[in-house]
Amino acid sequence: LNSADDSAVAGEPVPYQVLDDFDRESGLVVEEFENLRALAEKGLAGSLRAGNRLGQSNRSLFVVSVVVFVVVAFALLQWVSRSISSPIAELTASAELVVDRGGHFQARTAGASEVRRLSDSFGHMTNSLETLVLKRTDELHQKNYELNEEISHRAETEKKLRDAKTTAEAANAAKSDFLAVMSHEL
């Protein structure tokens, strides 16, 4: 009606048939728009349902992936424990035996090659240290023997010096007595 009023104001006659056609076309457009809106709502609802199903399956897949990851991580942890930690524990026990009881180092490592090499290196190191200690002990015994010989030699020399001193003191006393007697006689 507003457009009809506008036309009447402008001085043009408004035919009613044009208004009826316009109303019919507007009604069809509105009906078509309502149909499209209903179709869009149905499509959107279907898409939301599909999205929810997909989201639930993604969540389920995520949970399953996390569980599988945790199981694999635990299995790897167990493997690392057996292949690395156990040989290191055996290596430590062998080293403690060497410290407590002495003797040669013998590790029983069957683990990773790096741990086996480390064990072999410890074995070589302790065995070479043991050899070095034995060598130094022999040198110490030799030096101790030489020192005892030197002490014995000095003790003999000291005894001879004491005897010589005693003899010299006795000679000096005899000389003093002789001089005293001679001096008295003179």
CA distance linking residue 123 with residue 101, whole number of Å: 15
Note the pLDDT tens digit of each residue in 122-176: 777 777 888 888 899 999 999 999 999 999 999 999 999 999 999 999 999 998 9
131-147 core/surface letters (b: 16 or more CB in 10 A; e: else) = eeeeeeeeeeeeeeeee
Q: Per the confidence metrics, is the pTM higher than 0.85? A: no
Question: What is the largest distance, in Å, between two alpha-carbon atoms of the chain?
Answer: 193
Dihedral-angle region of residue 103 (phi above 0 means left; psi in -120 to 50 means alpha; beta otherwise): left
Instruction: Give the type of residue at 138.
Output: D
Phi, psi angle pair for 14, to nearest 5°: -105, 115
